[in-house]
Amino acid sequence: MAGSFETVGVVGLGTMGAGIAECFARAGIAVIGVEAGPEALTRGRGHLEDSTGRAVVKGRLSEAERSEILGRVTLTTSLEDLADADLVIEAVPEVMVFKRALFTDLDRICKPSAVLATNTSSLSVTEIAATTGRPGRVIGMHFFNPAPVMRLVEVIHTLITDDGLAGEVADLARRLGKTPVTVGDRAGFVVNRLLLPYLNHAAVLLENGVATRDGIDTAMRLGAGLPMGPFALLDLIGLDTSYEVLSVLFRESHDRRHAAAPILRERVAAGLLGRKSGGGFHRAAEPEPAADEPSTGLVAVLGEGGDAFAARLSAAGFKTVPVQDAETVVALSSVPVVELAPGLPHPERLVGLHLVGDQVAEVASTALTGPEVARAVEGMVRLIGLVPVPCRDRAEFVVDALLYPYLNDAVRMYDSGYATRDDIDNAMRLGCGYQAGPFETLDELGLETVRDGLRALYAEYREPFLAPAPLLEQLVAAGVRSFRDLP
């Protein structure tokens, strides 16, 4: 019974551990927080005080409630103080030897009925469980950063978890106001297996110069509607943690999609770990883009939707003219536009434009586009109220290049039988703050559109992971329009 978890130990009071301790204390559960030494303990106390203090400032908690919450947390540097805890959850760094050593100690110290839980992001819960003399009482309880805010808890059971324990721990998660998603023990579980390859892919695009850090972040926030761009999120999660998760995924899959981008490894090696070290990807401002070039406003608009776009430009004072008179040729397109260049009198004046949602315009430069022409188009789209994201003229540009492979991964995960579509959708909505889960997004975009985008990506890069998932191909071939139509 979940009600029997009345005292909970949390080992490791870094960002995640302190957030987890706060979740339990807020739910009225007594918490024993353990850190390795006095300094780390003071830091952990600081996390708890800051987080609850912010909630008071925002009027979400009264001072009295805050004192009650903090009063439920006992801090100690001695693991022995966990002897009577009903459940202990560890949130120490993602290094298997640390975890195994800790679980050996916890197994010795904690009462036989206690549940030992790990907040590992990706390591094998089975391997950790096997360290103990109570493998049936060891489970994964995976929270998301920031733990007091994100509503998901992944509950990970192994082949040897006691019957019923996953259900009890899921009930406990509900008691914390969270939504549990219960799955088996596979590297990355649901969220990290879908999230980290996407974040890594963003780093690959950055490394390949497809777009800038800020451009990619903006595109994913405003174009795809995500709460944070990938580089801001990597900084929040920690580049070291992200690198570790990717390494674990790669060891299990040997899939290049999981091979950490060198740009990520380099930053980790340099100690640029993200928010916790004062910066990772967002350590320094990117150089200001050069000022927009003045444009006389003679623009030709090509492509589907060109007339409506030309009308918007005209309303903003631009003059739309035939291609031969244009200083700028804008080709509205969702595919690379360079094929149009040889047919133009001035191929250096050609820029591809891909409108994403109602806020973002990806401004694609071909190998021939003049930099001043691209800047003129950026200024032009700004004038009509869109946010320009300069990028190279590559398959699916930025947003779709990142979004479609993630959706493809979700289809593969579902098809493998690891998790249900609802669980995957819930996990991404509640764990990452997405407005929609991947299957909801697939339905909205259209299965055929996503399949075609993946085919284009595969044709460009020849990476096996970009080939549409067999299930997606089959559903499109069968004329299925929505995952909702499946049993």
Three-state secondary structure call for residue 162? coil
Kindly indicate which of the ranges 75-83, 226-234, 332-340, 469-477 contains the residues binding ligand CAA, using the contact rule CB under 6 A.
226-234
Interaction of residue 145 with ligand CAA, rule CB under 6 A: yes
Interaction of residue 124 with ligand CAA, rule CB under 6 A: no
Interaction of residue 118 with ligand CAA, rule CB under 6 A: no
Closer Cβ to ligand CAA, 173 or 195, answer by number: 195
Catalytic choice (47, 122, 142, 201):
142
Interaction of residue 53 with ligand CAA, rule CB under 6 A: no
Longest dimension (CA), the chain: 83
Q: Residue 461, class by beta-carbon neighbours within 10 Å (0-12 exposed, 13-18 middle, 19+ buried)?
A: middle
| Token output for 312 | 């918007």
Q: Residue 68, class by beta-carbon neighbours within 10 Å (0-12 exposed, 13-18 middle, 19+ buried)?
A: middle
Smallest distance, ligand CAA to C-beta of residue 156, A: 12
Closer Cβ to ligand CAA, 221 or 421, answer by number: 221
Interaction of residue 130 with ligand CAA, rule CB under 6 A: no
Q: Which residue is nearest to ligand CAA (CB)?
A: 433
Site for ligand CAA in 183-202 (CB under 6 A): 192, 195
Residue in 14, 53, 136, 146 binding ligand CAA, rule: CB under 6 A: 146
Three-state secondary structure call for residue 255? coil
State the Cα torsion 233-52-22-38 to the nearest 10°: 90
Q: Token pair 């760094």 is at which residue?
A: 93
Q: Contact, 270 vs 243, CB < 8 A?
A: no
Q: Contact, 155 vs 180, CB < 8 A?
A: yes
Q: Give the H/E segment covering residue 139.
A: strand 138-142
Catalytic choice (47, 90, 94, 121):
121
Three-state secondary structure call for residue 179? strand
Site for ligand CAA in 396-435 (CB under 6 A): 431-433
426 is catalytic: no
User: Residue 484 and residue 105: Cα distance in Å, rounded?
Assistant: 48
Kindly indicate which of the ranges 50-58, 329-337, 382-390, 446-454 contains the residues binding ligand CAA, using the contact rule CB under 6 A.
50-58
Closer Cβ to ligand CAA, 54 or 108, answer by number: 54
121 is catalytic: yes
- Residues near ligand CAA (CB under 6 A) are 51, 54, 58, 60, 121, 144-146, 148-150, 192, 195, 227-228, 233, 237, 241, 431-433
Catalytic residues: 121, 142, 154, 192
